[in-house]
Structure 1
């Protein structure tokens, strides 16, 4: 045993006994997603290292927390997992991430170029999906199912829609940007003026919104295009149906990066590489209910059958979002208070 220990010392393989890798993420990644399996795999590969998840809120809330901690003296976070492409520019402007070393993340070779949404080399994608609306087919009559975004403003749907706040929720922000793209600079505020009076509630995050939907508080919720697959695989039912209004849904790519100032850079790279490993990526469709980014990952048959890919995915360049986001949020907030 002593010979093995000395060999580890001389070759630089000494395990980081008692080390921690702190990963900030969002609540549903831990409660719904593959966090437990990732933790088990990572700790098995790195004996003596404790992987610690910190996830009390939605992704936008967690990013705000990270920004605040860095501004007031420092953060324990080594990795942030869950930054949406819609918030990339904001994070880069604040210097949240340090560049990753591609040589230490060999599984990057399996990610298609079109999903690599950060050309600066700070953030790596780990999953992607489509933000859209989902309805409860047992509680919403077929004639009331909205087929266009404008249909959401129909008086018959008043009190039947749950949204998420774009200031604190990444799907909420994706929807706001979707409306800007769809209606244009001259039209999106008018759409929201017509929409807001009929909305039942706007929650801080997706988890709260979806829990309300499952509790039958409203038959329409802003969620993801994989929810029919979820309904079938989890319950053997097609009760929860995906809508792609006007054939659209917002294409959301989620990324992860090493927090600037982390003293666990090697472990952080190992974590990034593990998350995009094929075996881990194949957990995402039926735990995270998102599409994997690793092209080698196989989709479960029922997921592939029922997960919806919209005819016309909507997206906007992160740089453009960064330039206009604060203005859009301010204008949306004025609408919320009746302005």
Structure 2
């Protein structure tokens, strides 16, 4: 009997020694973002692989149709959310993000960014940027409009696809673009645009698919969207229409939720996001400009993109205070 007792005691002892290993299970970093970012062809997979190689963790991207939808989900879930980071808000929505009280300061030393403004925000970290534009097919349209007035003057059967500003950052960007250019006269521009709007989709992916399938003549997107077709498809038929009065700027950001149990890991990810290696992943997957020089430099295909100057950007506090009123102004004309 004694040998059996010894064996049992040894098994118990070995089991006890194994308990700490269970307690130290691989941590998971959960990031809420928009669907195009997390898609197989987006930057998510590459960033996941790169960060997991150094963090000893698992990165879990949870996608919504757009980043505003991701923020709405976090607001509904509150402190019970599984998210550690929300990625994909921008300069137009960080005010709303701060107002939720759900985010905490990132507390990391940031590099010198190559972006259209000096970055001083202590909560959100920028990771890429671009400019809103209407993309068209050169095989279907010889001379694109060079202003909103030109667009309005086109026959009513010239159709565009835009996104809902309540759920989509490009959709909100269009609201701000019109407001930045026309101020108190913005309502008149929306009234002129209304006959040309084929539909308002909830997110960017749906509207771009409609455009590529030939359902619309132009789609609200980015000055850099044609870079995808040039670099990935060796196709230059899709171009961004240059508006002489300028294009509205978008800087995308990521922020850490105060409720996250993985604060340090989240900070490590944001620091990784603005390294040359991570920045090298973004241009040719998210099709935006990097916020600093990427490893290996920027693909020359981006040099063919239109000049967005003058680059437009409204004051963040003004945007936060007036977003709802400006959205209502646009929908009053569109409905």
Q: 1:263 to 1:298 in 2, by over 3 A?
A: same
Matched, 1:19 2:37: no
| TM superposition shift of 1:170 | 0.3
TM-score, normalised via structure 1 length = 0.87
Secondary structure in 1 matching 2:286: coil
Question: Aligned residue for 1:268?
Answer: 266
Query: Structure 1: how far apart are the matches of 2:326 and 2:126?
Result: 25
Report if aligned partners of 2:32, 2:85 keep a CA contact under 8 Å in 1.
yes
Q: 1:243 to 1:16 in 2, by over 3 A?
A: farther
Aligned residues: 314
Deviation per residue, 1:60-119 (Å, 9 max, x gap): 11111111221xx621110011011101111111112101112xxx4x2242475454x4
Deviation per residue, 1:18-50 (Å, 9 max, x gap): 321110000000124211011111222122x22
Look at both structures and tell me which one has the larger radius of gyration over its CA atoms. 2
Q: 1:159 to 1:61 in 2, by over 3 A?
A: farther
Q: 1:232 to 1:51 in 2, by over 3 A?
A: same
Report if aligned partners of 1:168, 1:205 keep a CA contact under 8 Å in 2.
yes
Question: Aligned residue for 2:211?
Answer: 213
Query: Structure 2: how far apart are the matches of 1:158 and 1:167?
Result: 26
| TM superposition shift of 1:15 | 10
Query: Structure 1: how far apart are the matches of 2:274 and 2:23?
Result: 23
Question: Aligned residue for 1:60?
Answer: 68
Query: Structure 2: how far apart are the matches of 1:283 and 1:307?
Result: 19
Question: Aligned residue for 2:139?
Answer: 138
Matched, 1:304 2:308: no
Query: Structure 2: how far apart are the matches of 1:259 and 1:282?
Result: 26
Dislocated runs of 4+, deviation >6 Å: none
Secondary structure in 2 matching 1:282: helix
Please list every run of 5 or more consecutive structure 2 residues that lacks an aligned counterpart in the other structure: 1-19
Please list every run of 5 or more consecutive structure 1 residues that lacks an aligned counterpart in the other structure: 1-8
Report if aligned partners of 2:32, 2:64 keep a CA contact under 8 Å in 1.
no
- RMSD across aligned C-alpha pairs, in angstroms? 2.1
Secondary structure in 1 matching 2:111: helix
Question: Aligned residue for 1:126?
Answer: 127
TM-score, normalised via structure 2 length = 0.88
Query: Structure 1: how far apart are the matches of 2:290 and 2:115?
Result: 14
